[in-house]
Amino acid sequence: MTQHKALHQPSLPEAGIVSMATIALLSFLIIGTGWAPHIGIVFVMLCLLVYGRLCGIRYGEMQQAMADALMSSVGALYLFFFIGVLVTALLMSGAIPSLIYYGTALMSADYFYVSVFLVTSVIGIALGSSLTTVATLGVAFMGIGEAFDANAMITAGAVVSGAFLGDKMSPLSDTTTIAASTVQVDLFEHIKNMMRTTVPALVICCGIYIYLSLSSQNTVGDIERIHAFRSALQQTGLIHRVSLLPFILLVALAVFRIPAVMAMIYTSLLAVGIAQFMGYTDFSQYGSYFFSGFVPNPDWAPDLVRMFSRGGLQNMFFTLTIVLLAVSMGGLLFTLGVIPRLLKSIADWLTSRLRATGAVAATSVGVNVLIGEQYLSILLSGETFKPIYDRLGLERKHLSRTLEDAGTVVNPLVPWSVCGVFIADQLNVAVIDYLPYAFFCYISIMITLVIPSKSRQN
């Protein structure tokens, strides 16, 4: 996307006004009025199209800019489709119900939140996809949290923290690969360098989640409630150790670096095979389930019916349309010259290491808030600041680290972002509600601003 030339050259005040108006409108329409994010983004896009026409840009040129932006995110669009299929298959085979059932027996209620954070982090690294981790393991942990009567907002925050720690550190992750390739550094050198900020953030988060676990004043650990919940799960007829095989296969495929989409396909096929072999569902229902989502037996406990009514292509359409609109809006902001002008003004101000790191972090966060797309945050900021880091004699691996610390992990904190919308839908917890408890996401930014970037002479 950075390859395309801006068709308008606004002044800095003009670009600032447009960007602030965009953020203000999105915030008011989505948070203030409670409208669906789609409406807010469409309204902003209409305003940007009018602005573009007033600047003398033809509609056809702006339409092409939106199309070009969509092409840069087409991989994520495919991923959403396969996540919908995978979640359905895992539910049909009993994989998610079984993980919840056995998880309630293995996890410590006294240290529930830190357990969720650590387990999700490990699985997230193995899977290489924060969204896949949230849609599978995250959903399971939310169910376990209900059994423990844990705070849903804290549980969701721990899931998000762990999932994005895993996404950030996994060599299988798209964002990790994009960050390394954008600034042209070795992938594993990039991951190794991120340990400088990730390990301290991990330790701090563990301390916070342990404190929250021990100081919880709710009924966590209510044995009778847990037994009743597990009994209800057992009565669904979906609980079996064999049903855990899809999760094992998914992790194994990730370890052997099988592409995420192919790993989802193979896992879905195994899950369907288990569902058919165990007689959990009728083959004639598969088409309906994969399109509309899994339909639990209405005789099950109400909590389980609500928890397992998910998956399917149709349930991904909400998120897919958000992605289409958000990325298209980013294309408009770029071709109208708003983003290039803001980035240029920041780049001209850089004269030291501290300013460079702060500017990269601020830009990455700003693009996430303005556009709501983490890929564009990494791509735009990386391309812009590469020559700046070279001029200052700073190693590029520190640039890629900052792109991840302030770009990758911030996206789930933006209510209208791709990740924010998806996670809120999957976990049934609003972004604003889990944001205060997703500690890893903003502790990473703080640490990356404190830890210095070494020069090439060092």
- Mean per-residue pLDDT pooled into runs of 10, the chain (458 residues): 70 91 82 77 93 94 88 72 87 88 75 89 79 82 82 95 92 78 81 91 96 72 67 89 90 78 90 89 87 89 80 82 79 86 75 83 85 76 79 87 91 88 90 95 90 54
Indicate the residue type of 435. L
Rounded Cα–Cα distance for residues 177 and 186 (Å): 9
State both tokens at 371: 């556009």
Half-sphere exposure of 397 (CA within 13 A, CB side): 16
Task: Report which of 90, 85, 96, 41 is spatially closest to residue 314, judged by C-alpha positions.
Answer: 85
Q: What pLDDT, on the 0 to 100 scale, is given for residue 457?
A: 46
Do 456 and 396 touch, CB atoms closer than 8 A?
A: no
Rounded Cα–Cα distance for residues 301 and 194 (Å): 45
- Phi and psi angles of residue 394, each rounded to the nearest 5 degrees, phi first: -95, 145
3-class secondary structure, 393: coil
Q: What pLDDT, on the 0 to 100 scale, is given for residue 77?
A: 72
Neighbouring residues of 332: CB distance < 8 A, sequence distance ≥ 6: 45, 48, 49, 52, 62, 65, 66
Q: What pLDDT, on the 0 to 100 scale, is given for residue 447?
A: 92
CA 25 vs. chain centroid, Å, equals 23
Do 144 and 225 touch, CB atoms closer than 8 A?
A: no
Residue 134 DSSP label: I
Q: What pLDDT, on the 0 to 100 scale, is given for residue 345?
A: 79
Which residues share a beta bridge with 455? 394
Do 109 and 151 touch, CB atoms closer than 8 A?
A: no
Residue 313 DSSP label: S
Question: Computed over its alpha carbons, how large is the radius of gyration of the chain?
Answer: 22
Rounded Cα–Cα distance for residues 14 and 11 (Å): 5
State both tokens at 176: 């990790």
Q: What pLDDT, on the 0 to 100 scale, is given for residue 126?
A: 67
All structural domains of the chain with their residue ranges: 12-73+315-426, 79-307
Neighbouring residues of 456: CB distance < 8 A, sequence distance ≥ 6: 393, 394, 395
This prediction's pTM:
0.70
Rounded Cα–Cα distance for residues 43 and 325 (Å): 11
Indicate the residue type of 315. N
Which residues share a beta bridge with 394? 455
Task: Report which of 166, 176, 61 is spatially closest to residue 122, judged by C-alpha positions.
Answer: 166
